[in-house]
A and B are shown apart, each in its own frame.
Chain A
Amino acid sequence: GIQVEQSPPDLILQEGANSTLRCNFSDSVNNLQWFHQNPWGQLINLFYIPSGTKQNGRLSATTVATERYSLLYISSSQTTDSGVYFCAVEGGGGGNKLTFGTGTQLKVEL
């Protein structure tokens, strides 16, 4: 099956700093989503981005499908950004089945 690796696995930032999270996948995908899992476990949709670039406030994402990676940018980080960030992909087999990446644990400190 498709492999999804994220880097870095852990990240500590000072409030106000910017960061880039990376997601590499091993095969072509029909769908790629970025999620934020808050400390209580709730997964929140951030982006549906199988290709191209999108922005939503302080967050933006870029997927280069031909090179099999996606980037999530967080600018002016806040303590509420803490949690785990996952990318998830749907491989060519379809069925809307998502394979989750390994995750990036982010902690934003004052």
Chain B
Amino acid sequence: GAVVSQHPSRVICKSGTSVKIECRSLDFQATTMFWYRQFPKQSLMLMATSNEGSKATYEQGVEKDKFLINHASLTLSTLTVTSAHPEDSSFYICSAGTSGYPETQYFGPGTRLLVL
């Protein structure tokens, strides 16, 4: 149980284009999903918290107009990187939080984005 999927797993795009990444909880409902970014050989950094039916909460320093988050249902959150630039190239990982105790997070397999 507690499986989280991400799509696509890998994407290469040209500078200036937008890229959408989907995060789905496959066997449970997640009222809260999280988006992280990980640069090579570094730790995960939380970008934003995505709540179903409401606006996402962004961490300090993360541009909300560049990283658009939509949490349309209890099993789907999307991250859109708008007008991508080479410095946006990174590994993007989502997680979904279970309700109840303990409140653990389960992580998707990640999406590798390369902006040329």
Q: How far is the CB of B24 from chain A (nearest CB, A)?
A: 15
Which residues of B (72-116) have their CB < 8 Å from a CB of A?
91, 93, 95, 97, 102-107, 109-110, 112
Q: Indicate whether A95 reaches chain B with its CB closer than 8 angstroms.
A: yes
Q: Is the interface of B mostly helix, strand, loop or mixed?
A: strand
**Which of A31, A44, A86, A98 is within 8 Å of B46, CB to CB?**
A98
Stretch of A13-21, A71-79, A100-108 on the interface side:
A100-108
Q: How far is the CB of B112 from chain A (nearest CB, A)?
A: 8
Q: Indicate whether B34 reaches chain A with its CB closer than 8 angstroms.
A: yes
User: B44: which A residues are within 8 A, CB to CB?
Assistant: 43, 86, 88, 100
User: B45: which A residues are within 8 A, CB to CB?
Assistant: 100
**Which of A40, A42, A90, A97 is within 8 Å of B107, CB to CB?**
A42
Question: Counting chain B CB atoms within 10 Å of each CB, which of A40, A86, A95, A101 scores highest?
Answer: A95
Question: Counting chain B CB atoms within 10 Å of each CB, which of A90, A95, A96, A102 scores highest?
Answer: A96
- A96-B32, A96-B97 known; A41-B106 Cβ under 8 A: no
Q: Are A100 and B104 in contact (CB under 8 A)?
A: no
Q: How far is the CB of B59 from chain A (nearest CB, A)?
A: 9
Q: Are B104 and A41 in contact (CB under 8 A)?
A: no
Q: Are B91 and A100 in contact (CB under 8 A)?
A: no
- A95-B49, A97-B34 known; A48-B109 Cβ under 8 A: no
Interface size on A, as a range, is: 20 to 34
User: B106: which A residues are within 8 A, CB to CB?
Assistant: 45
Residues of A with Cβ closer than 8 Å to B? 31, 33, 35, 40-45, 48, 86, 88, 90, 95-103, 105
Please name 14 further chain A to chain B contacts, defined as beta carbons within 8 Å, in addition to the given A100-B45, A103-B43, sorted by A numbering: A31-B103, A31-B104, A41-B91, A43-B44, A43-B93, A45-B104, A45-B106, A45-B107, A86-B44, A88-B44, A96-B97, A97-B34, A98-B46, A102-B43
Residues of B with Cβ closer than 8 Å to A? 32, 34, 36, 38, 41, 43-46, 49, 91, 93, 95, 97, 102-107, 109-110, 112
Closest 6 CB pairs of A and B: A43-B107, A41-B110, A100-B44, A100-B43, A48-B102, A96-B97
